[in-house]
Chain A
Amino acid sequence: MIHRYKLNGYNIVLDVFSGSVHVVDDLAYDIIGMYEDTDTDNIISAMLEKYASDSDVNEAEIRDCIDDIEELKNDSRLFTADEYADLAFDFKARNTVVKALCLHVAHTCNLNCEYCFASQGKYHGDRALMSFEVAKQAIDFLIEHSGSRKNLEVDFFGGEPLMNFEVVKEITAYCRSIEKEKGKNFRFTLTTNGVLLDDEVIDFTNRECHNVVLSLDGRKEVHDRLRKSVNGKGSYDLIVPKFQHFVERRGNKGYYIRGTFTHNNTDFTEDIFHMADLGFTELSMEPVVCPPDDPYALTYDDLPVLFEQYEILAKDMLRREKEGKPITFYHYMLDLNSGPCIYKRISGCGSGTEYMAVTPWGDLYPCHQFVGNPEYLLGNVYDGVTNPAVQDEFKLCNAYARPDCKDCWAKLYCSGGCAANAYHATGSVTGTYKYGCELFKKRIECAIMMKAAQAENAD
């Protein structure tokens, strides 16, 4: 399977099953489009007719181009066959280890963001803070079920995790005290709204956290519209100076300024550029996840606007890069050389198998987005997974599990998509959140185009 598209002056051909990316001229682009279902003579006559006014295109040139395509095909870099379906089948029966936990250390929040999927941190339940005892048991559960996997990830999440900073510190110290003896390496992430960010937190995160995710939606009016304090006041003025101070002290360690865009700000690149103007360089901006009848829900009418926005962003990032002031956008980070292997590309995020969320009470869910849904309760950190049927359901969530993905060129980039989004959109974790697919495909097209531009600039 191939995917051909034109973007920003580049003709791009992606060979889906080898992962190869080709940047081609117009003639090659047209020939590749006809190659599989048209014989050579007909390709030649069609191209001679189409390029009649182009003196550079003659029969010999066309034949040379066809030969090159043939060579790439023989080299498994074009029209590569799908040989992974059986691999995906094996995935169903595979034994998995747990390698990441999303620790909900606080089911409460000091902000009252309207669009919060976690219903202001409470996940449709009671307010609660995780005790050290539950957190410790969660870590012990993780180690016990991690097999020979060395790198273990723990995300301090909420609600607002800094409302339970003491337990965050204590559990981090516990992990550090045992990781050597257990042959593990813990990587911590903290996801925070920034309200409680101070020098003590910064010292802690700089010492301990592999990554810190800071929530900011962009322009003041956009941010304050939905990210409000409990008394209804916008939080922008409170958190932006804290984030700037944090990033100043972060050095070259990982962080993301992460925003959410909604129907209210479909011109979200303005928010990303605003983040850049504030001095932030590591940026992420996600489409809101909410019921379609919410007033800020994205609509199908928004899609063309959003597509254009992603293109604007990609072009502007290339411009900034040329000027020596690059920014990173999470969804445009593609490492074509050292990116994920085919197993990762098929199996996806690992929710419910390799990745689980833990509530303040120690209950296990497939991921943070299922927390509070009794149908998806996996078990708890004391008794382990007591509902293997749910886990088996999630083992099936891979790039080959969804009928809608069968002929999709992007399936090895999204692994079939987010199970939670699929569930919320269709009622099934193996359904397809089609709106999300459209945005995802556009982002990958832009990201690959940027690689084409960067390769051209490097020549």
Chain B
Amino acid sequence: MKRIKTIETRDLKKSVKTGGCGECQTSCQSACKTSCGVANQQCEKCLSEK
């Protein structure tokens, strides 16, 4: 596309079927302890598939 560049991202709609294993890190457990953010958490399943 000439005017739109799409960055490769995980398809959240597809993850309804592939996600939900629950093995990922508890988000507050890493470095913040005073806020909530899940975006910086990695998917454990994706990591092991890599």
Do A and B make up one complex? Answer: yes
- Give residues in A with beta carbon < 8 Å to B: 17-25, 27-28, 64-65, 68-69, 71-72, 76-77, 80, 83-84, 87, 97, 99-100, 102, 117, 149-151, 153, 155, 187, 189, 191, 211, 213, 256, 258, 260, 284, 286-287, 289, 330-345, 348-351, 354-355, 367-369, 412-421, 436, 440, 443-444, 447, 451-452, 455
Q: Which of B18, B26, B41, B44 contacts A355 (CB 8 A)?
A: B26
Name the contact of B3 in the complex, choosing from A24, A418, A419, A451 (C-beta under 8 A): A24
Interface pair A68/B10, CB less than 8 Å apart: no
Are A68 and B3 within 8 A (Cβ)? Answer: yes
Check if B5 sits within 8 Å of A23, measured CB to CB: yes
Contacts of A413 in B (CB 8 A): 37-39
A-B contact pairs, 7 of them (CB 8 A): A68-B3, A338-B43, A338-B50, A339-B40, A341-B19, A343-B15, A348-B27
Q: A354 — which chain B residues lie within 8 A by C-beta?
A: 22, 26
| Besides the known contacts A84-B16, A421-B35, 12 further A-B residue pairs in the complex with CB atoms under 8 A apart | A19-B9, A21-B6, A23-B4, A150-B23, A211-B31, A213-B31, A287-B34, A340-B24, A351-B28, A415-B38, A417-B36, A440-B37
The reply to whether A69 and B4 contact each other, CB–CB distance below 8 Å, is yes
Q: How far is the CB of A338 from chain B (nearest CB, A)?
A: 4
Contact: A339 with B39, CB < 8 Å? yes
* Closest beta carbon of chain A to B18's beta carbon, Å: 7
- Give how many A-B residue pairs fall within 8 Å (CB-CB): 213
- On whether the beta carbons of B41 and A344 are closer than 8 Å, the reply is yes
C-alpha spacing A447/B25, complex, angstroms: 20
Across the two chains, which residue of chain B brings its CB closest to A24? B4
- Give chain B residues whose Cβ lies under 8 Å from the Cβ of A256: 30-31
Q: Are A348 and B33 in contact (CB under 8 A)?
A: no
The answer to whether B37 and A331 touch across the interface, beta carbons within 8 angstroms, is: yes
Report the bound CA distance from A256 to B40 in whole Å. 14
A-chain residues with CB within 8 Å of residue B23 when the two chains form the complex: 149-151
Residue in A84, A289, A447 whose beta carbon sits within 8 Å of that of B34 in the complex: A289
| In the bound complex, CA of A341 to CA of B44 (Å) | 10
Nearest residue (CB) in A for B20 is A343
Contact B29 A100 (CB under 8 A): yes
> Contact: A330 with B32, CB < 8 Å?
yes
The answer to whether A336 and B28 have CB atoms under 8 Å apart is no
Contact of B43 among A191, A339, A421 (CB under 8 A): A339
CA distance A80 to B13 in the complex (A): 9
Instruction: Output the nearest chain B residue to A84 by Cβ-Cβ distance.
Output: B16
Shortest CB-to-CB span from B1 to chain A, Å, is 5
CA A69 to CA B22, docked complex, whole Å? 35
Contact A18 B13 (CB under 8 A): yes
Given the interface pairs A64-B2, A102-B29, A153-B29, the reply to whether A369 lies near B39 with Cβ below 8 Å is no
- Bound together, the chains give a CA A348 to CA B22 distance in angstroms of 11
Q: Which of B5, B29, B32, B42 touches A335 (beta carbons < 8 Å)?
A: B42
Q: Which residues of B contact A287 (CB under 8 A)?
A: 34-35
B40 A334 Cβ-Cβ under 8 A: yes
Rounded to whole angstroms, the CA-CA distance of A153 and B27 in the bound complex is 11
Please name all residues of chain B whose beta carbon is closer than 8 Å to the beta carbon of A153 when the two chains form the complex. 25-26, 29
User: Nearest chain B CB to A293's CB is how many angstroms away?
Assistant: 18
- CB contacts (< 8 Å) of A24 on chain B: these are 3-5
A443 to B30, CA, bound (A): 17
Query: Which 4 pairs from chain A and chain B are nearest by CB?
Result: A341-B19, A338-B46, A418-B36, A100-B26
Inter-chain contacts of A21 with B (CB < 8 A): 6-7, 9
